[in-house]
């Protein structure tokens, strides 16, 4: 009787281990079949985490003189929030003069900060506006708002040497989340910033996706009238957008249903269709959407079967997929970084992409991951950091 009871109690553990092993083997077999990116410069850590702060959510932009600048908000601060907020009000600026191969610290961004909270979590978005200025948008972490807050914006008229004072994009603070490489300007001139807003009980429980819009080049902003909502685990989180050739705006978001989902706007981001599944297999993990110079769409994401419904892991490998039909279909994934994929013990997340004369400069953050899929105790300053690679442009599709 005792042995039977003992076996009954450990059976779920054994079944979980066997299922995990089967999933791991299947994932390794799948990876072996994927194409690998063509590297001009292979992936390499160029900046290390520190005990206080983890590198995450970088943003990139090429300057008129050919230099590239980068800023990253760094990760969530430890428990002494007020002390960290006072020490790190705005992020460091980094500069590369060799196409992203090496980086030099330029000191803190010259931007007045008189707001509560700090630039943290989420990510950084740089954008060259049509009037020539560079806009930058950050996620803002406000104490008590579950890692979010009203996003902030600043502008530079001297290619990043100096910045206007940071200002809020919404009048009311709420649990908004904005990731890196998100801000776009439509052909109409409208600026669209996709954001997630917490509607669940806790951070990450369930989000809805919407947009913050500006029709005067960032002078004023307002919330979109409609949202992309999903009554499902994690909702529609961390959205990213791109304008299609016909003027529609495509949104991709991460979910807890085993793939990234897509929604469309026919009115410049004011309202959104009901999200539907894509073939981009993933857990509720980060993604970045861009428009290639030739007009095709490219998304960087973690192509991996989730541990379970609603899971945030695995978060490796980092891959990209391309669409030449406005997001209706996507190419098979191309592997950029599969470090840790064999044991699912790494995160390769929050990529930022800059198109250069050579190809695609990609920066992302690498972290330790718990193979069981938990965030608890996951940070180790000695593992990972900021990674960079220079990739050849994706090849054009063969004629159908």
pLDDT in tens, 321-342: 999 999 999 999 999 999 999 9
Q: How confident is the model at residue 10 (pLDDT cuts 50, 70, 90)?
A: very low
Q: How confident is the model at residue 356 (pLDDT cuts 50, 70, 90)?
A: very high
Distance CA 328, CA 334 (A): 18
Q: Do the Cβ atoms of 90 and 119 come closer than 8 Å?
A: yes
Residue 295 pLDDT > 80, yes or no? yes
Mean pLDDT, rounded, for 84-98: 85
Residue 1 pLDDT > 80, yes or no? no
Q: Do the Cβ atoms of 94 and 102 come closer than 8 Å?
A: no
* pLDDT value at residue 325: 97
The tokens of 304 are what? 């991996």
* pLDDT value at residue 382: 87
Q: CATH number for the 34-391 domain, one of 2.120.10.10, 2.60.40.10, 2.40.50.430, 3.40.50.10190?
A: 2.120.10.10
What does the domain layout of the chain look like in residue ranges?
34-391
Q: With H, G, I as helix, E, B as strand and everything else as coil, classify residue 3.
A: helix
The tokens of 237 are what? 């989180």
Partnered with residue 206 across adjacent β-strands are 234
Q: Output the average pLDDT for the chain.
A: 90
State pTM to two decimals. Answer: 0.91
Q: How confident is the model at residue 23 (pLDDT cuts 50, 70, 90)?
A: low
Q: What is the pLDDT of residues 118-128, one digit of tens each?
A: 888 778 999 99
Burial class from Cβ neighbours inside 10 Å (0-12, 13-18, 19+) for residue 168 reads: middle
Mean pLDDT, rounded, for 274-280: 98
């Amino acid at each position: 009787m005792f042995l039977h009871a003992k076996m009954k109690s450990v059976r779920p553990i054994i079944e979980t281990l066997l299922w995990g092993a089967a999933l791991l083997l299947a994932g390794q077999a799948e990876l072996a079949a994927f194409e690998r990116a063509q590297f001009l410069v292979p992936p390499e850590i160029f900046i290390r985490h520190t005990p206080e702060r983890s590198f995450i959510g970088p943003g990139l932009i090429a300057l008129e003189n050919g230099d590239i600048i980068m800023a990253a908000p760094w990760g969530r601060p430890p428990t002494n929030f007020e002390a960290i907020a006072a020490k790190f009000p705005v992020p460091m600026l980094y500069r590369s003069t060799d196409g992203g191969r090496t980086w030099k610290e330029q000191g803190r961004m010259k931007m007045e900060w008189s707001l509560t909270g700090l630039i943290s979590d989420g990510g950084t978005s740089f954008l060259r506006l049509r009037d020539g200025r560079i806009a930058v948008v950050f996620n803002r972490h406000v104490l008590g708002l579950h890692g979010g807050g009203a996003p902030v914006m600043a502008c530079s008229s001297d290619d990043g040497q100096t910045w206007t004072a940071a200002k809020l994009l919404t009048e009311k603070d709420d649990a908004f989340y904005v990731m890196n490489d998100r801000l776009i300007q439509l052909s109409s001139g409208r600026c669209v910033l996709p954001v997630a807003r917490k509607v669940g009980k806790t951070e990450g429980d369930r989000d809805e996706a919407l947009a913050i819009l500006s029709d005067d080049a960032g002078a004023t902003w307002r919330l979109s009238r409609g949202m992309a909502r999903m009554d499902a685990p994690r909702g529609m989180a961390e959205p990213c957008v791109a304008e299609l050739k016909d003027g529609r705006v495509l949104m991709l978001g991460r979910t807890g249903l085993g793939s990234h989902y897509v929604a469309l706007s026919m009115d410049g981001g004011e309202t959104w269709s009901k999200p539907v599944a894509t073939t981009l297999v993933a857990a509720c993990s980060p993604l970045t959407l861009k428009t290639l110079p030739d007009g095709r769409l490219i998304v960087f994401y973690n192509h991996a079967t989730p541990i379970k419904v609603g899971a945030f892991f695995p978060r490796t490998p980092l891959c990209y997929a391309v669409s030449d039909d406005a997001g209706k279909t996507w190419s098979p994934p191309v592997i950029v970084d599969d470090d840790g994929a064999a044991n699912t013990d790494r995160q390769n997340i929050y990529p930022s992409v800059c198109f250069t004369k050579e190809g695609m400069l990609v920066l992302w953050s690498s972290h330790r991951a718990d193979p069981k899929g938990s965030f608890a105790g996951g940070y180790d300053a000695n593992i990972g950091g900021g990674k960079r690679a220079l990739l050849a442009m994706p090849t054009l599709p063969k004629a159908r």
